């Protein structure tokens, strides 16, 4: 049996802020550790404000703003105020930054700089310091160690036509589309974006567990959608582990016609974007 330790502790960084002009720094902290931010989830980061003597200082009457800057482009990507946690001596100088899922979702996995500024009484801002050598910017790294990397969508545009002798209707089938079962659990989510232009007919979404599904009867229908002159994008979701997926559409038959092969009537089934 493997015993793997997991550690749960607050993410705390020290910030130097000399509000007391009578203090002459004696302790020199040269480096600030790198801030690690996980994208796509909530990050709670605490900042402990100290003077250059390494003593915690009261900050309850001040306003602080956190800025995250792309190290390559020098572009500001996140700016948020800090929540003051100071309520007593034990929490003196403590503030909280909360980065929500949306704050980091679109950030690249890369290197960044961060800084914290304090608002003065006249509305202007002054810097705080990442160390006691007047270094304003700390270093940060956005990581993606928690969120899975999604597979790119597969684009399906070819739907060869064949006659079904049992129904005397033409069917348009996509062929076998690999469903990446090795990446899916028992409730694996599949998504299809169906692009249609004035389409009349039925879409059949089919799946199989067979590794060689070319033979008759190896696909089962998972879901169906019927359209009546629909134009736009329709989104279809379903769950399950399949080796291959197949998309089949059966156009509607025009009135007074013997088959369903009149594209001027049933419109256009343009493409499908599929992700498993």
| pLDDT value at residue 4 | 42
Averaged pLDDT for residues 169-187? 83
Is 57 a domain residue?
yes
Please write the tens of the pLDDT for every residue from 100-119: 988 988 888 899 999 888 88
Asked whether residue 1 is assigned to any structural domain, the reply reads: no
Q: Are 107 and 48 in contact (CB under 8 A)?
A: no
Is 99 within a domain? yes
Residues 136 and 258 in one domain: no
User: Can you give the pTM of this predicted structure?
Assistant: 0.55
> Which residue in the block uniquely carries the two structure tokens 């409730």?
187
**How do beta strands 83-84 and 161-164 pair?**
unpaired
Residue located via tokens 């567990």: 209
Last residue in a domain, options 143, 162, 193: 143
Residues 173, 217 within the same domain = yes
Claim to verify: residue 84 and residue 52 sit in the same structural domain: yes
CATH number, residue 31: 2.60.40.3350
CA 221: distance to chain centroid? 31
What pLDDT does 248 receive?
95
Closest C-alpha among 205, 208, 269 to residue 236: 205
Q: Does one domain contain both 111 and 178?
A: no
Statement: residue 30 has pLDDT above 60: no
Q: Which residue has the higher pLDDT, 7 or 264?
A: 264
Nearest-CA neighbor of 70 among 57, 58, 79, 82? 79
Shared domain check, 163 and 205: yes
Nearest residue to 235 via CA among 161, 153, 176? 153
Pair 64, 85: CB distance under 8 Å: no
**3 part of a folded domain:** no
**Residue 77 counted as domain residue:** yes
Q: Which residues pair with 127 in a beta bridge?
A: 117
pLDDT tens digits, one per residue of 48-104: 888 877 788 888 888 999 999 998 899 999 999 999 999 998 889 899 999 998 898
pLDDT mean over 16-34: 60
Answer yes or no: do 128 and 177 share one domain. Answer: no
Is the residue at 21 inside a domain?
A: yes
Residue 180 inside a domain? The answer is: yes
The last residue of one of the domains, among 115, 143, 171, is: 143
For the beta carbon of residue 105, count every other beta carbon within 10 angstroms.
11
What CATH number is given to the structural domain containing 254? Answer: 2.60.120
Our count of domains for the chain comes to 2
Give the dihedral sign, CA 72/73/78/83: positive
**Same structural domain for residues 160 and 270?**
yes
At 6, is the pLDDT very low, low, confident or very high (cuts 50, 70, 90)?
very low
Considering the domain architecture, whether residues 101 and 195 belong to the same structural domain is answered as no
Domain that holds residue 215: 154-275
Dihedral sign, CA of 14, 16, 17, 18? Answer: positive
State yes or no: pLDDT of 172 exceeds 90. yes
Kindly indicate the confidence band of residue 150, based on its pLDDT and cuts at 50, 70 and 90: low
In three-state secondary structure terms, 80 is strand
Q: Using the predicted structure, report yes or no on whether residue 5 has a pLDDT greater than 60.
A: no
- Within a domain: residue 208? yes
- Residues 112, 200, single domain; the answer is no
For residues 92 and 56, give the distance between their C-alpha atoms in angstroms, rounded to a whole number. 6
| Confidence band for 31, pLDDT divided at 50, 70 and 90 | low
**Of the residues 143, 175, 210, the one at which a domain ends:** 143
Average pLDDT, the chain: 85
Question: Is the same domain home to 124 and 178?
Answer: no
Instruction: With cut-offs at 50, 70 and 90, classify the pLDDT of residue 32.
Output: low
């Amino acid at each position: 049996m493997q015993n793997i330790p997991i550690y749960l502790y607050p993410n705390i960084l020290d910030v130097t802020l000399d509000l007391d002009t009578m203090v002459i720094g004696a302790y020199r902290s040269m480096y600030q550790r790198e801030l690690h931010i996980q994208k796509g989830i909530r990050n709670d980061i605490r900042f402990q404000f100290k003077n250059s003597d390494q003593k915690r200082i009261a900050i309850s009457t001040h306003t602080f703003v956190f800025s995250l800057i792309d190290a390559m482009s020098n572009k500001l990507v996140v700016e948020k105020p800090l929540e003051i946690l100071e309520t007593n001596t034990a929490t003196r100088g403590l503030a909280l930054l909360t980065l929500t899922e949306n704050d980091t979702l679109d950030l690249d996995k890369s290197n960044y700089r961060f800084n914290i500024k304090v608002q003065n009484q006249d509305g202007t801002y002054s810097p705080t310091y990442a160390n006691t050598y007047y270094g304003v910017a700390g270093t940060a790294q956005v990581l993606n160690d928690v969120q899975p990397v999604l597979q790119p969508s597969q684009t399906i545009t070819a739907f060869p036509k064949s006659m079904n002798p049992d129904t005397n209707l033409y069917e348009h089938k996509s062929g076998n589309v690999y469903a990446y079962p090795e990446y899916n659990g028992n409730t694996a989510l599949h998504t299809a974006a169906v692009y249609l232009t004035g389409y009349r007919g039925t879409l059949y979404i089919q799946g199989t567990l067979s590794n060689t599904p070319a033979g008759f009867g190896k696909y089962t229908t998972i879901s169906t959608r019927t359209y009546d002159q629909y134009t736009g994008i329709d989104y279809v979701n379903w769950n399950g582990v399949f080796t291959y997926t197949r998309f089949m559409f059966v156009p509607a038959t025009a009135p007074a016609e013997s088959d369903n092969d009149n594209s001027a009537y049933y419109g256009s089934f343009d493409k499908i974007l599929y992700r498993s």
